[in-house]
Structure 1
Amino acid sequence: MNTSKKMAAGMAGFASVLWLGLTAAIAANQRRLVFNPTIVPEVASPRSAGHRTRPIVLRAKDGTRLCGWLMTPRTPGPRPAVLYFGGRSEEVSWVVRDAGNLFPNMTVLAMNYRGYGNSHGDPAETLMIDDGCTHYDWLASLGQVDARRIAIVGRSLGSGVAVQVAKERTAHSVVLITPYDSILAIAKRKFRAMPIEYMLRHRFESIKHAPSLMVPTYVLRAERDDIVPHSHTDQLCEKLANLILDEIVPGSDHLTIPYLEATQTRIAAFLAMRFSAPLLPPQLIETVA
């Protein structure tokens, strides 16, 4: 074999080893790629100006300690409620601070995922869905909550949790902030040369569940989003069974969108409109949707 052929063979061998190494690294560290737990609270002493606020500790089915906050309106009586799911790097204490603008006159439960904030354990898709259903059931059991009017709100990674929990429970309505078709599709776009479909366990394939989501759904997109490109949101919206609104928030990007007054006003208005609508008998919901 001449020198040039030896060099070509050597380069091919090196490339193969490098490719295998990268593949192994992605497979071994996929939890870090999908989740980025934030431990430090975003807000040191969170309180809602429009609600009574109290820290909450709930136990998952496996006994894991999960922490968050319950916010209840100051006026008595059963109220509509909201269950909130955060993003990949999001610690949810900021929701407490902004709840008066986001969710006025609504009971709100915002819990940190496993490994986020003061919650124990490690995040995983199946556990997050299970925990979300447990949180929904706990919220629905509260005396001050109208269990027929519970909305689910999810941001970014949390939109995938929201879609699946809303499918498993009788949610009243759903708000999805910068949602995607699936984490698998985004990962395949980012790691084009890798067999990512054989490695990724936490797929959050919202697009598979979207046709079964019959409740009114509101999608908000960032004007500039280099984390969830609009094409991935387009794919999801095409499959959502009952998409009511699909809007872009001017001046927003993937990280700033939930904090903007324009976003919070839109979400508050949508939920107030949906909660004020007459309730349909269960057998008519699917027909109308």
Structure 2
Amino acid sequence: MASRTARVLLKQLLLLLCLSAAVLLQSGCSSLFFFPDQTTYITPDRLDLAYENIYLDTADGETLHGWWLPAEGQPNGTVYFLHGNAQNISSHLLNVAWLPAEGYNVFTIDYRGYGKSTGAPDIEGALHDSETGLRWLTRQRNTNNTPVFILGQSLGGALGLTLASEWVQRNETPELSGVILDGTFSGFRGIAREKLGSFWLTWPFQIPLSWTIPDEYEGVDQIANISPVPTMIIHSVRDGIIPFHHGQALYEAANKPKEFLQTDTPHAATFIIPAYKNSVLEFLEAKKTRQSKGKAGF
């Protein structure tokens, strides 16, 4: 009787394994990257921030929701914030809520399937959405003649890295003034293989499933293209989600000018530490210093 029960449990386990593999194969590993929800956790007014709801239509028929947070006083520049893979903009707001008081406009969007944005998320769709947001931002009069920066955390950093690389290579205008990558993985395919290999149920499928992700999305192969735009890479030695070696790999692959900020916080918790905020402000304000000295470019 005991042996028969064991055989039944083994068959059920094998069935679960096959079903899990089939789902991942069908989704092309997208389920590893996207964990959206539609809950509103906090809105900017709860933090005494002025804001405007922004709705953008994509070329493929989706509608994206975002928030525009104007700087307090004369703006020093604008930060385009791309958030991580879980929940939506309302749960990531605290990461950038401090910037308007420092004189920086903030624009942030939810990718398709997140928050109030329509559709279902996937890698190519999210990349398209991040570019849609940047194109809207660069057309706003509040950004004219002021620096524009990309700040991406985790998944948002991977999206921002690809966006910045393509923006620079196509000689798009206005030129980006800087790119900040916080807790970002070194490539979609690489992190998928790493995560699949860390769980016994998906370990046998780590290589074939990771091959479903196009290799042009590997950040280590793209980051050098961002130069001469300055790049700041932030990574924590205590990051339990995206291991520290990912940040090191991105920094080594990047061309100058580049900076590396080693931190000591949980994943995506950089800005709870004032000293880390100050390091980022110094990076942002370096653009103003260059402009005041009459230097064009970097």
Q: TM > 0.5 between the two? A: yes
Change (3 A) 1:55 1:174: same
Q: Which runs of 5+ in 2 are unaligned?
A: 1-10, 168-174, 198-203
1: CA distance, partners of 2:13 / 2:63:
45
Encode CA deviations 1:28-50: one digit per residue, 9 max, x unaligned.
3422221101221231454564x
The match for 1:218 is 232
* 1:249 lines up with 2:246 in the alignment: no
1:183 aligned residue: 188
Return the offset for 1:91: 1.7
User: Is contact 2:44-2:50 (8 Å) kept?
Assistant: no
* C-alpha contact 2:237 2:244 (8 A) present in aligned 1: no
Aligned partner of 1:174: which letter? Answer: V
1:82 maps onto 2:87 in alignment: no
1:1-289 equivalent positions in 2, closer than 5 A: 21-29=19-27, 30-44=29-43, 46=45, 49=48, 52-76=50-74, 79-93=76-90, 96=93, 99-103=96-100, 104-146=102-144, 149-169=147-167, 170-192=175-197, 193-194=204-205, 195-200=208-213, 204-214=217-227, 215-250=229-264, 252-278=265-291, 280-281=295-296, 285=297
User: Deviation per CA, 1:165-199, whole angstroms, max 9, x where unpaired?
Assistant: 11232321001000111121122123333222333
Separation (CA, whole Å) in 1 of partners of 2:285 and 2:71: 14
- Percent sequence identity over matched residues? 22
Give 1:105 shift. Answer: 1.0
Q: Which amino acid aligns with 2:63?
A: R
Q: Using a 3 Å threshold, how does the CA distance of structure 1 residues 115 and 46 change in structure 2: closer, same or farther? A: farther
- Quick one: distance in 2 between partners of 1:213 and 1:105? 25
Check conservation: 2:82, 2:151, Cα contact below 8 A. yes
- Inter-CA distance 277–186: structure 2 relative to 1 (3 Å threshold): same
Q: Which runs of 5+ in 1 are unaligned?
A: 1-12
Q: Which segment is superposed worse, 118-127 or 239-248?
A: 239-248
SS, match of residue 277 in structure 1: helix
Cα offset, 1:266, TM superposition: 2.7
* Closer/same/farther in 2, CA of residues 106 and 263 from structure 1, 3 Å limit: same
Contact 1:184 1:204 in 2 (8 A): yes
Structure 1-normalised TM-score? 0.81
Q: Relative to structure 1, is the Cα distance of residues 200 and 22 closer, same or farther in structure 2, using a 3 angstrom cutoff?
A: farther
Contact 2:183/2:267, CA 8 A, preserved across alignment: yes
Mean CA deviation greater in 25-34 or 93-102: 93-102
1:9 match: none
TM-score, normalised via structure 2 length = 0.79
In 1, Cα distance between equivalents of 2:235 and 2:114? 25
Q: Deviations over 1:110-135 (max 9, x none)?
A: 11111111111111222222222221
Report the CA distance between 1:255 and its aligned residue.
4.3
Where 1:272 maps in the other structure, the secondary structure is helix
Query: What per-residue deviation string (whole Å, max 9, x for no partner) do you get for residues 198-241 of structure 1?
Result: 33469842112112111101111123112111122222211112
Residues 1:19 and 1:91: Cα distance change in structure 2 (over 3 Å) = closer
Instruction: Name the count of aligned residue pairs.
Output: 269
Q: Deviations over 1:12-57 (max 9, x none)?
A: x9999886554323213422221101221231454564x6311111
Alignment partners' CA distance in 2, 1:225 and 1:46? 31
User: Distance between the aligned counterparts of 2:279 and 2:237, measured in 1?
Assistant: 15
Structure with greater strand percent: 1
Q: Are the structure 2 counterparts of residues 276 and 47 from structure 1 closer, same or farther at C-alpha, using a change threshold of 3 Å? A: farther
The SS at the match of 1:191 is helix
SS at match of 1:25: helix
Aligned-partner Cα distance in 2 for 1:42–1:258: 18
Contact 1:154 1:175 in 2 (8 A): yes
Which amino acid is 2:193 matched to? K
* Contact residue 34 and residue 202 of structure 1 kept, 8 A: no
